[in-house]
A and B are shown apart, each in its own frame.
Chain A
Amino acid sequence: EPEVTQTPSHQVTQMGQEVILRCVPISNHLYFYWYRQILGQKVEFLVSFYNNEISEKSEIFDDQFSVERPDGSNFTLKIRSTKLEDSAMYFCASSESPGQVYEQYFGPGTRLTVT
């Protein structure tokens, strides 16, 4: 069964450093998403991406964050100048299409620890 994959599974970085989280969405999916979940809290939407541009982003997704689809398979989230409060699980998701009948499938996540 096709699935979303993410690398690395765990990333430890020092405050102020840049990190890139990588995702390979399901191959026939066209819409890609990043969510995050701080330990013990809700899953929160960060950004959606289609046709090489951002479709929607949340208030969390400020200038510190960027997304890119560098090739035909990868989808990346870059966090510049990481802060302690960026420590969280980051989930990539994908769907065939947006809208009410299209499910978003989540990858296994990257646990980001900022020290």
Chain B
Amino acid sequence: QKEVEQNSGPLSVPEGAIASLNCTYSDRGSQSFFWYRQYSGKSPELIMFIYSNGDKEDGRFTAQLNKASQYVSLLIRDSQPSDSATYLCAVLHLGSNYKLTFGKGTLLTVNP
């Protein structure tokens, strides 16, 4: 069973702080990793993806991947109240080009 685990939170940070969201996965054959943001009652919205070890930056967001540790993270700099949402980690496995396996998500609250 290919699992994707996230701390469900809630993670609470003050406005302007860095929020750090973590995800671990069980399948060493996993090849790509996606971060989605989901507001309550809404659909997942893609933030960014990463498939090489190291960091990938896009605006206030940085994804970090460590395949040896089977760990992927998302950092949100200068957190805003509008960033308050559930953040979903999703994994694409080797041998499947189609199926994303999602974690349950981490609820982030940014306090003004």
Contact = CB atoms under 8 A, between A and B. Distances in A.
Interface of A: 31, 33, 35, 41-45, 48, 55-56, 58, 89, 91, 98-101, 103-109
Interface in B78-108: 88, 90, 92, 96-105
20 contacts: A31-B98, A33-B98, A35-B100, A42-B104, A45-B100, A55-B98, A89-B43, A91-B43, A99-B32, A99-B97, A100-B92, A100-B97, A101-B49, A103-B49, A105-B46, A106-B36, A106-B45, A107-B43, A108-B43, A109-B42
Interface of B: 31-32, 34, 36, 42-46, 49, 51, 88, 90, 92, 96-105
Most-contacted residue by chain A among B49, B92, B96, B97 (CB, 10 A): B97
A33 B101 CA distance: 13
Contacts, number: 59
A98 B44 contact: no
A106 B36 CA distance: 10
A99 to B, nearest CB: 5
A93 to B, nearest CB: 8
B72 to A, nearest CB: 14
